[in-house]
Each structure stands twice: as structure tokens, then as C-alpha cells.
């Protein structure tokens, strides 16, 4: 039996004609050793294949699970799906993953906490190269190396734990772009929620006078000004004084925003009024650094949402941050602001040097609010990503946050009490648990982002 990629016109035909009818039988897998559409926690796999028949299957360090097969539409660019495959293999401790759109076939191997490409061919070449694929993914080949793989995996896990114990000090991440409307707050709050869901102790700081993060985490529960309980205890008071108003005095618990809830330092519209005073006090730029130092044993990760400007609040955030994430929709207007961002970072690094801090590490440009249109993803999006690398010489994060209505929908939930309607926002992670819609896709995207962030900051 041979394979003709022209017969695959959609994702369903890639699954049935290439994977089920061709690859699985050629590689020696019988129907009792592979499963389709398997859900493991928040992960949904197209196919799982086993080197041996095990019912029920168990996912642990000694799991007989052997290979993940993922099918995509023939018009989809496989590059856009590699981060998700990495997430699957590393989270489930799977050695190999095959991803295909029928036009091309790729095989990736898990190496510690990352994956690397070990095989690639076009769909037309698969007949001629099936023996190479069988050497890597064939049922008998995997059975023969099972013992060696498990031994190596146990060693790498020990090494990884040793490294993580040394690096698990509190890390602070600023989320900044001087262009508004690029999804900065959405990224900050849902990244914080995803990290919290992974068991990390997270502090979320709102340093924007618009207070979008404060609203998003459910802290604005008042309808009338006299009920405003934030105006006298917010981020301004934290950086306005050096000898009072410390983090434990200001921090709030997010209100039904996530499970578990997140510690939040709120913002307020009155930050605008206090800007002139803070500008006259040089020490105000460093007070957040000093006050975070006092709680470094209480949190694993601090996320700071910033204003889309170059004001003192943005400066305070970048002085305090160890890392910088720059969300961007990658459109020309946002890209035009990147040189300004780089100049601002260089300016802030001078201030950091004066207080003995190393330069802030740019984690990367995070593609956010990206259209899910298939033609856009196939033709335009890859060019946009290339532009970031080639023209602006900035690193590009592998995770992608797509523009889905559930991201705004989840943050704009309300609750009616009597005659009044109150905001009742939720993280997309919590929303996905309650509403089985595309919220699950967004939750997965933030889960992938959180995994990438944890890997880059050395926290496990």
C-alpha cells in the first residue's frame, strides 16, 4: 500500500488516510495498541500509540506510552504547532512525537525539557523513507530501546531537580509594550492564573492607571465612589513611601477570578494625579525593588502589568523586573514602537546598573491577539514572525496567544445583585472549566506560555 498526499484534502483525511490506514499499520501498531482522541487532563491528543498493549495506560516515568501522532489541515503551517507538540511530549513524558499535514511529515524527540527535530520528509517521499520512520517509531524498535530510554530519563530528571533547587528564587516579570491594544493585560492576568494553577505562588501587580488588571481580577466590586475601597491602598502608596505601606499592607486576593485565587496589588485612576510628585523623588523608582525583596520567600513569580507609555510607572516596573515579555499583535503600528521599547529598556538598564542590578532580560516578543484565519496563519503570520527576528533583532517567544472572543468574554462576566449589576470576571483558565467552548483552546495556549516562561526563568 502506498500513500498519495493529494488524497488528503482536510485534517480528517490526514488522520484517516495517512495515519490510520498507512502509518500505524506500516509501523507495526495494531488497533489494540493505539487510541484516537485521547484526553489527559487539559491535553487532547489526536493519537497515542503504545509499544505494548496496556489497558488502562498509565502516564509516569516508566510508562509504555511510546509515540504521539498529531494531524493538521494540509494548508496549515506545522511551525505554528511545534510549541504545542513540545508541551505534549514534555508534560506526558513521551519520547517521540510525529506531526503531519499530509504535505510534510516531521518527527520530534524529547530531550530533557525540550524537543528536537530528528526526521523530516515530504508526503511524496514517505513511501521511499518508511524504513527510516520505522527505525524511529516502529513498535518493535521502541520496545527494544525501552529500558535504555527509561534509565536516561531518570538521570535527566535528577539532574533537572538539582538545577531547579538552585534556581527557584523569586522571579519578577514585567509585561510591557508602549503600544496599547496588543493584549498586554490579557496576557498578564491569564499568565498569572495559569502559573497559579500549576501550584506557583504568584503576585500580580497592576502599575497602570487604567487599572485594567485590577478590574480583570475582580477587585472593582463597587458601583459608587463612596464604596471605593481601593483609592487609599493601591500601588501608588507602595511606591510613594519608603518606610510604610509594604506589600502585606496593600495586597488583596483576587475575587473569584481563578482557582486558586491570586495575590494582587491593585491600581487606581488616581495614579495619574500622583505622577508629578513621584517624578520629583528619585528614590520612588527603586521602592518596588526594595519592597519586593521583603517578600521574596513568599512568592515564586511576580507579574507586573504596565502602562503603554514611558512614564515613571513603566520605569518602576522595568527596574523591578528580572525579565521582560513584550506582547505584540505583530502589525506594522506595533512593530514601529519596538525601537522605542528597546531605547527605553537601554535607558532603564542604566538606572538598574546604578543600584547594582543586572540588565533586564528580554524573554521575547509574545505574539498576541493573532487571527485564527487559516490563510492568515499560512501566509501572513510566518512573514510577521520573520520580520521581528530579521528587522528588529529581538527574540521571539514560541507560544502564541490567538484572538478569541472568550478572552474578553471571560473578563466581562457580570453578576446581578438586586437591581445592580456587578463585574464578575474570570480567568480564561477558570472559564474553560465552566464553559466547554473555545475557552479550552485559549486555556491551553496560556498553559503552553506558562511552560515556556517557567523553562526560561529556571523554575519548575
CATH code of 29's domain: 3.90.1570.30
Give dist(CA 8, CA 114) in Å, integer.
Answer: 30
Rounded average pLDDT over 238-255: 92
- Same structural domain for residues 261 and 379? yes
Same structural domain for residues 137 and 183? no
- Whether residues 190 and 147 fall in one domain: no
* Residues 317 and 440 grouped into a single domain: yes
CATH number, domain containing residue 296: 3.40.50.300
- Terminal alpha carbon distance of the chain: 46
**% pLDDT > 90, the chain:** 58
**118 and 233 together in one domain:** no
The per-residue pLDDT for 282 is 83
Q: 415-445: per-residue pLDDT in tens?
A: 776 766 777 889 999 998 877 567 888 999 9
User: At CA 195, angle to CA 190 and CA 200, rounded to 5?
Assistant: 145
Whether residues 269 and 337 fall in one domain: yes
User: pLDDT at position 145, please?
Assistant: 57
Q: Give the cell for residue 315.
A: 520605569
The crossing angle, in degrees rounded to 10, of helices 130-137 and 139-167 is 60
Task: Report the largest interatomic distance among the alpha carbons of the chain, rounded to a whole angstrom.
Answer: 78
110, 140, 163 - which closes a domain: 163
Confidence band (pLDDT; 50, 70, 90) for 256? Answer: confident
What is the rounded CA–CA span in Å between residue 395 and residue 96? 27
Q: Which ranges constitute the DSSP H helices of 69-173? A: 82-92, 130-137, 139-167
Instruction: For residue range 257-305, list pLDDT tens digits in order.
Output: 998 999 999 999 999 999 999 998 888 899 999 999 999 999 999 999 9
pLDDT at 172 (0 to 100): 97
pLDDT tops 60 at residue 460: yes
pLDDT in tens, 63-90: 445 799 999 999 888 988 898 899 888 8
Residues 153 and 286 occupy one common structural domain: no
Mean pLDDT across the stretch 112-126?
90
Task: For residues 150 and 195, state if they share a domain.
Answer: no
pLDDT over threshold 90, residue 170: yes
Same domain, 153 and 175: no
Question: What average pLDDT does range 120-141 have in this prediction?
Answer: 92
DSSP bridge pairs for 24: none
DSSP 36: E
Look up cell 507609555; give the residue. 309
Q: What is the DSSP letter of 95?
A: S
Which of 132, 163, 194 is the last residue in one of the domains?
Answer: 163
Q: Kindly report whether the global pTM for this prediction surpasses the value 0.85.
A: no
320 touches 265 (CB < 8 A): no
3-state secondary structure of 27: coil
pLDDT averaged over the chain? 86
For residue 371 the three cell numbers come to 487571527
pLDDT, residue 224, reads 58
pLDDT at site 413: 84
Tell me, yes or no, whether 21 and 103 share the same domain.
yes
pLDDT at 225: 67
149 and 247 in a common domain = no
- Are the C-beta atoms of residues 360 and 174 closer than 8 Å to each other? yes
Look at residues 163, 189, 221 and tell me which one is the last residue of a structural domain.
163
Task: Tell me the Cα Rg of the chain.
Answer: 24
Does residue 155 register a pLDDT over 90?
no
Query: HSE (CB half, 13 Å, CA atoms) of 373?
Result: 7
Is the same domain home to 321 and 433?
yes
The tens digit of pLDDT for each residue in 210-239 reads 999 999 998 886 655 666 778 889 999 999
Q: How many domains does the chain divide into?
A: 2
Please compute the mean of the pLDDT values over residues 97-113 and round it to a whole number: 93
Average pLDDT over residues 112-140: 91
**Phi, psi at residue 23, to the nearest 5°?**
-65, -50
**pLDDT at 37 exceeding the cut of 70:** yes
The range of the structural domain enclosing residue 344 comes to 168-457
Cα–Cα dist 108/353, whole Å: 42
Amino acid at each position: 500500500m502506498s500513500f498519495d498526499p493529494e488524497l488528503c484534502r482536510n485534517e480528517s483525511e490526514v488522520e484517516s488516510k495517512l495515519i490510520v490506514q498507512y502509518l500505524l499499520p506500516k509501523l507495526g501498531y495494531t488497533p489494540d495498541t493505539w487510541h484516537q482522541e485521547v484526553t489527559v487532563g487539559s491535553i487532547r491528543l489526536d493519537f497515542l500509540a503504545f509499544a505494548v498493549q496496556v489497558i488502562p495506560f498509565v502516564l509516569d516515568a516508566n510508562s509504555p506510552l511510546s509515540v504521539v501522532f498529531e494531524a493538521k489541515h494540509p494548508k496549515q503551517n506545522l511551525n505554528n504547532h511545534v510549541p504545542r507538540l513540545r508541551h505534549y511530549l514534555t508534560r506526558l513524558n513521551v519520547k517521540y512525537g510525529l506531526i503531519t499535514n499530509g504535505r510534510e511529515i516531521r518527527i520530534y524527540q524529547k530531550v530533557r525539557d525540550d524537543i528536537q527535530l530528528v526526521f523530516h520528509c515530504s508526503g511524496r517521499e514517505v513511501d521511499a523513507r518508511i524504513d527510516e520512520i520505522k527505525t524511529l517509531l516502529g513498535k518493535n524498535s521502541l520496545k527494544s530501546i525501552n529500558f535504555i530510554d527509561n534509565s536516561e530519563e531518570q538521570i535527566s530528571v535528577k539532574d533537572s531537580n538539582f538545577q531547579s533547587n538552585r534556581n527557584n528564587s523569586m522571579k519578577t516579570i514585567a509585561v510591557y509594550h508602549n503600544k496599547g491594544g496588543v493584549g498586554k493585560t490579557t496576557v498578564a492576568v491569564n499568565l498569572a492564573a495559569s502559573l497559579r494553577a500549576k501550584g506557583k505562588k504568584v503576585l500580580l501587580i497592576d502599575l497602570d492607571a487604567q487599572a485594567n488588571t485590577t478590574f480583570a481580577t475582580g477587585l472593582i466590586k463597587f458601583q459608587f465612589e463612596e464604596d471605593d475601597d481601593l483609592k487609599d491602598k493601591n500601588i501608588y502608596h507602595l511606591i510613594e513611601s519608603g518606610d510604610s505601606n509594604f506589600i502585606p499592607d496593600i495586597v488583596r486576593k483576587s475575587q473569584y477570578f481563578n482557582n486558586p485565587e491570586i495575590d494582587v496589588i491593585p491600581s487606581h485612576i488616581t495614579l495619574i494625579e500622583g505622577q508629578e510628585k513621584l517624578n520629583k523623588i528619585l528614590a520612588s523608582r527603586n521602592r518596588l525593588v526594595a519592597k519586593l525583596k521583603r517578600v521574596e520567600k513568599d512568592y515564586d513569580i511576580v507579574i507586573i502589568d504596565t502602562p503603554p507609555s514611558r512614564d515613571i510607572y513603566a520605569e518602576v516596573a522595568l527596574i523591578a523586573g528580572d525579565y521582560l515579555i513584550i506582547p505584540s499583535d505583530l502589525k506594522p503600528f506595533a512593530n514601529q514602537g519596538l525601537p522605542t521599547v528597546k531605547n527605553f529598556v537601554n535607558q532603564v538598564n542604566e538606572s538598574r546598573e546604578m543600584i547594582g542590578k543586572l540588565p533586564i532580560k528580554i524573554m521575547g516578543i509574545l505574539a498576541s491577539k493573532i487571527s485564527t484565519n487559516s490563510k492568515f496563519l499560512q501566509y501572513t503570520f510566518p512573514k510577521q514572525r520573520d520580520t521581528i527576528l530579521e528587522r528588529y533583532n529581538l527574540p521571539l517567544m514560541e507560544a502564541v496567544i490567538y484572538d478569541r472572543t472568550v478572552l474578553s468574554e471571560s473578563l466581562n462576566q457580570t453578576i446581578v445583585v438586586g437591581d445592580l449589576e456587578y463585574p464578575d470576571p474570570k480567568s480564561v483558565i477558570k472559564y474553560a472549566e465552566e464553559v466547554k467552548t473555545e475557552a479550552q483552546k485559549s486555556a491551553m495556549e496560556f498553559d503552553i506560555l506558562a511552560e515556556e516562561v517557567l523553562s526560561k526563568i529556571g523554575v519548575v
